[in-house]
Amino acid sequence: MTTVPQDWDSAYADGTPPPWDIGRPQPAFVRLAERGLLSGRVLDVGCGTGENTLLAAGSGAEAVGIDVATTAIQRARRKASERGVAATFTVADALALSELGQVFDCLIDSGLFHVFDDDARARYVTSLGSVLRPGGMGYLMCFSDREPGDWGPRRVRQDEINAAFADGWEIVDIAADAFDINPIMGASTAQAWLVTLRR
């Protein structure tokens, strides 16, 4: 299985977009925005170059995107400026979101959950819980065990999602979906789970 980069800036270094940086929001999040679900104060965790954050902001949300990759955040800020969209982008650690000192109505995660090993996954879920208000909603899209082969990130099973969010969360829905990706191994989509969560 292809490993994910530990130095996330390296994924953006050579000018070739990484598979997840498709230059537009993921279709699943476009559908959520069209239903008015990306509203209030929205945190996009692992925002990359900011397309889903900008989608939320353009839909009227007070949107904040965080990523550990400085290069990605710089590109996201440039996009916001060029498009005249009011969104905030900050370099931050997804495993230490409480350090933001903020609370949000809605969280979105497009492809971050699946990069963590078991120990970090538990820390990540705790970190998410530290910034989402009681009753707040989360929309998480992760690589699915329905994806054949062994390229790309770790596959996630539904029972792993249920176990990760067993304490203090309500899993409203786990739906089969797909990521759009830059072509890799002959594929332009990858099987995903779209998880709807309530705190």
pLDDT confidence of 4, banded at 50, 70, 90? very low
pLDDT > 70 in the chain, percent? 96
- SS3 letters across the chain: CCCCCCCHHHHHCCCCCCCCCCCCCCHHHHHHHHCCCCCCEEEEECCCCCHHHHHHHHCCCEEEEEECCHHHHHHHHHHHHHHCCCCEEEECCHHHHHHHCCCEEEEEEECCHHHCCHHHHHHHHHHHHCCEEEEEEEEEEEEECCCCCCCCCCCECHHHHHHHCCCCCEEEEEEEEEEEEEEECCEEEEEEEEEEEEC
State the pLDDT at residue 96. 97
Specify the higher pLDDT residue, 100 or 7: 100
State the pLDDT at residue 102. 97
pLDDT above 90 for 15: no
pLDDT confidence of 16, banded at 50, 70, 90? confident
State the pLDDT at residue 8. 84
What pTM did the predictor assign? Answer: 0.94
Reported as a single tens digit per residue, the pLDDT across 119-152 is 999 999 999 999 999 999 999 999 999 999 888 8
All domains of the chain, ordered by start, with CATH? 20-198 (3.40.50.150)
pLDDT confidence of 5, banded at 50, 70, 90? very low
Reported as a single tens digit per residue, the pLDDT across 87-103 is 999 999 999 999 999 99
Reported as a single tens digit per residue, the pLDDT across 175-195 is 999 999 998 767 899 999 999
pLDDT confidence of 14, banded at 50, 70, 90? confident
